[in-house]
Chains A and B, each alone.
Chain A
Amino acid sequence: MSEEKQELVDLTIEEGTYKTLLTEKFKMKKKYEPKNTDHVYSIIPGTILKFFVKEGDTVKAGSPLLILEAMKMENIIKMPFDGKIRKILVSDGVRIAKDTLMVELDK
């Protein structure tokens, strides 16, 4: 392969910094971002079948928020804590990817 053409970069391992090349897979990796617990993301790619709540509703922990249909299964997405629906970002019948922000909540 064409190692010569690649640029050596710095990589720090346990406080030592080394000159090295990166692998393609290393370059492809996504930076970690902590999840916001007030945000409800899709756990799997699928289609929004139905909403049980609307913006502004006060909802008890464990009550259903919506149904996300994926792989022929209806997944009921539940309220993680007692709180309020701040914003709904997806609508019925829409197909969404994994990790799509669906609902924003207020504690």
Chain B
Amino acid sequence: MSLEKEISLLKEEKAILQKGGGDAAIEKQVAMGKMTARERIAALLDKESFCEYDLFVKHEVHDFGMDKKELPCDGVVTGTGTINGKPVCIYAQDFTVMGGSLGLMHARKITKIMDHALKMQIPCIGINDSGGARIQEGVGALAGYGEIFYRNTMASGVIPQISVILGPCAGGAVYSPALTDFVFVVENISKMFITGPAVIETVLGEKISQEELGGARVHAEITGNAHFYSMNEKDCFDQIRTLLSYLPSNNTKKPDETKVMAPTFKGKLEDFIPADPKQPYDVRDIIKAITDGSEFFEIQELFARNIVIGFGRINGQSVGFVANQPLYLAGVLDCDSADKAARFIRFCDAFNIPIVTLEDMPGYLPGVDQEHAGVIRHGAKVLYAYSEATVPKITVILRKAYGGGYIAMNSRHLGADFVFAWPCAEIAVMGPDGAANIIFSKEIKDAEDLEAMRKEKIQEYKDKFANPYVAAARGFIDSVIEPSQTRAMLIHTLTISKDKTEVRPTKKHGLPPF
């Protein structure tokens, strides 16, 4: 018996379905500067590794004339493939099919591939390009969103979840990306908001463009909803592949180790740090001087730039860096930088990635706006995240470590495994200027030359307390090291900590100050 006829029918049917919304709709998509859903998957995954499922799924809506409408694949492409040779689950919404709108079957395709990712313990990537809920499906569309959110939450901390915003992502649709670990946006293409410009103008009379309200740059710089920002889809896919190279496939594994490379940086680490603690420098130069191949993959580069987070490798091992950035806002902690750091620390902890903290910060950002925005509640997240983490935690105090900031930045007291300080470190309850003004207030007030006395007392405080040796004398730091020894010390302590185990009290879950 020959199956020739059946096979050719299958091929024909597949070819039609894989065209999505058809030539005219594809042309429109291209005119918007966007790739199609299938092109995106092909561009992101390893060559010819994609295997599609649920191509033949149909929607089930009969109202509003929908029964006569064919929606190929119900507007979403789902399947499995590999990135860097490792398996992933993926879905991509197809804007050419009814604007990528989400109906119940569309959502069920997504939840099916998410369930698969969780069962197979592999990362799940969602490419969002959708006008939102399919209104004709009514509550069925809402059910669909809810079922996706539930799975995002169940998979959280078990498998890496990545959201790529390559088109509109509005209303309820924004909450799936918000629940995932990393959100990628592309200039001019990504648009995310709860309420769009049209509604805002009708209801509130405020006029704003989609780009200004929720474009890629806004989410990368102002809201912090996005973690990676790029100028085109190709660069975005490169970023995703690089990110995954630093991560394990699930929370029971460690990231793959790579070949050890020396830093390409040649020179003296201490030359980056100005002698005057009030002068800035770019802490990313220090990170790059320490990491394998001097490579550092920064996360949320534009958001809360006063703290730097990202991945690098030390001796072939994937490491999460958290570093105060004196170049911006003097490297203070504030609401945004606390949120940024805390979430990253929790990610590293969930996925067995050691955390290296580089500290140089003068304290918390003062201001009514900060206090009213809840800097107490936000700042507490950093304390919680560091204390809770059981991965290897190593701190290097580069320069300033004052007051609450000293405690917050992975101090010994929050459970750091190793704490080192450079000889220029100032570990003290507050900066010398403030401390001298309080401790020696009487001497300064009674002095003939107020300013000269103030200067003298500030110097006295500096000599006595603004150094690493007071903390070292109490064992709060393990050693004062030369800057040039930093990489060697990190390699040593990371190697020592490879099988670190630390037990936490049994609980249903903790209550981080969300």
Contact = CB atoms under 8 A, between A and B. Distances in A.
A97 B201 CA distance: 11
Contacts of B365: 13
A14 B434 contact: yes
Given A13-B362, A15-B431, A18-B362, A29 B205 contact: no
A21 B327 contact: yes
B377 to A, nearest CB: 18
Given A8-B280, A13-B332, A20 B327 contact: yes
Given A13-B365, A20-B327, A45 B204 contact: yes
Contacts of A32: 367-369, 372
Interface stretch (B186-194, B242-250, B299-307, B310-318): B299-307
6 contacts: A14-B434, A15-B434, A21-B305, A23-B305, A32-B367, A45-B205
Contacts of A20: 280, 326-331
B402 interface: yes
A10 to B, nearest CB: 9
Contact of A14 (B328, B336, B402): B402
Contacts of A1: 302
A60 interface: no
A13 B278 contact: no
Interface string B203-241: 111100000000000000110000000000000000000
Interface string B308-342: 00000000000000000011111110001000000
Contact of B328 (A16, A21, A95): A21
Q: Which of B372, B430, B437 has the most CB of A within 10 A?
A: B430
A59 B247 CA distance: 66
A17 to B, nearest CB: 7
A89 interface: no
Given A16-B433, A18-B280, A23-B306, A11 B205 contact: no
Contacts of B327: 3, 20-21
B196 interface: no
A89 to B, nearest CB: 17
B225 to A, nearest CB: 13
Interface residues of B, number: 39
Interface of A: 1, 3, 8, 11-26, 28-30, 32, 45, 71, 95, 97
Nearest to A98: B204
A71 B199 CA distance: 11
Contacts of B33: none
A19 B437 CA distance: 21
A45 B206 contact: yes
Contacts of A12: 366
Contact of A15 (B302, B368, B372, B437): B437
A24 B329 CA distance: 11
Contacts of B403: 14
B279 interface: yes
Main SS at interface, chain A: mixed
B81 interface: no
B306 A16 contact: no
A23 B278 contact: no
Nearest to A96: B205
Interface centre among B302, B362, B365, B366 (most CB of A within 10 A): B362
B382 to A, nearest CB: 17
B451 interface: no
Given A15-B433, A17-B278, 16 more contacts: A13-B362, A13-B365, A13-B366, A14-B402, A14-B431, A16-B278, A16-B432, A20-B326, A22-B328, A23-B329, A24-B221, A32-B368, A45-B203, A45-B204, A45-B206, A95-B205
A18 B330 contact: yes
Interface string B452-494: 0000000000000000000000000000000000000000000
A11 B329 CA distance: 7
Nearest to B373: A29
B363 interface: yes
B332 A25 contact: no
Q: Which 4 A-B pairs have the closest CB atoms?
A: A32-B368, A18-B330, A15-B434, A16-B431
A20 B332 CA distance: 11
Nearest to B204: A45
A41 to B, nearest CB: 15
Contacts of A24: 221-222
B282 interface: yes
A3 B362 contact: no
A26 B306 CA distance: 11
Contacts of A30: 369
Interface in B349-365: 362-365
Interface in B268-291: 278-280, 282
A16 B434 CA distance: 7
A97 B328 CA distance: 33
B235 to A, nearest CB: 16
A1 B304 CA distance: 14
B125 to A, nearest CB: 27
Interface centre among A11, A14, A24 (most CB of B within 10 A): A14
Contacts of B366: 12-14
Given A22-B329, A29-B369, A95-B205, A14 B362 contact: yes
Contacts of A3: 282, 327
A12 B433 CA distance: 11
